[in-house]
Amino acid sequence: MAFELQRYTEPLEAEELAFLERRESKDRSQYYKVFQLLMFLSFIIPFAGAWYRATDGAENAFSPIKFFLSAGILLFISSISTYITYRVNLRRIQLDITDNTKTIEISHVKQKIYFPSSGTYYVYIDSKIKMSIEVKYEDYVRLAEGDEVSIEYTTHSKQYLGYF
């Protein structure tokens, strides 16, 4: 039995928008901290390498040219990797906040599973965004294989918001 997935967008609710704004702020501060650490390491690693060369008895172990060239290369790599990570992840959350939309996808139950070790109930669905969702006991009992379940997620960053 093949079902066609249906999607549509709606405006974000106030608490969903607040969740995204908190997430964006937290992620932005984490990127800043990681970039600061990478900048620090970009200068420490060449300095440690110079000390290593000096203990081996190399001439001109503390060469300013080698130090600044190594530090520059490491700074370049750090900057590019941080920027790409920002563009891939954080920028999508910022687009969700700007657009103020969420996607609602109607998917179908494929399988139901109960995990006794954690006491949680999961439903596997045919969505490309989310393979399984944790549901309440009442919904676990109510839903059967093939039933429709709607999931909500942010349009750009695909942050899961809930089901109904």
pLDDT digits (tens, 9 = 90+) for 28-52: 898 889 889 988 998 898 888 888 8
Backbone phi, then psi, for 145, in 5-degree steps?
A: -60, 130
Q: What is the predicted pLDDT for the residue at 2?
A: 54
Q: What is the mean pLDDT of the chain?
A: 85
Q: Which residues are bridge partners to 129 per DSSP?
A: none
Q: What is the predicted pLDDT for the residue at 37?
A: 92
Q: What is the predicted pLDDT for the residue at 65?
A: 85
Asked if residue 74 has pLDDT above 60, the reply is: yes
Strand pairing report for 160-163 and 148-154: antiparallel
Q: What is the predicted pLDDT for the residue at 163?
A: 84
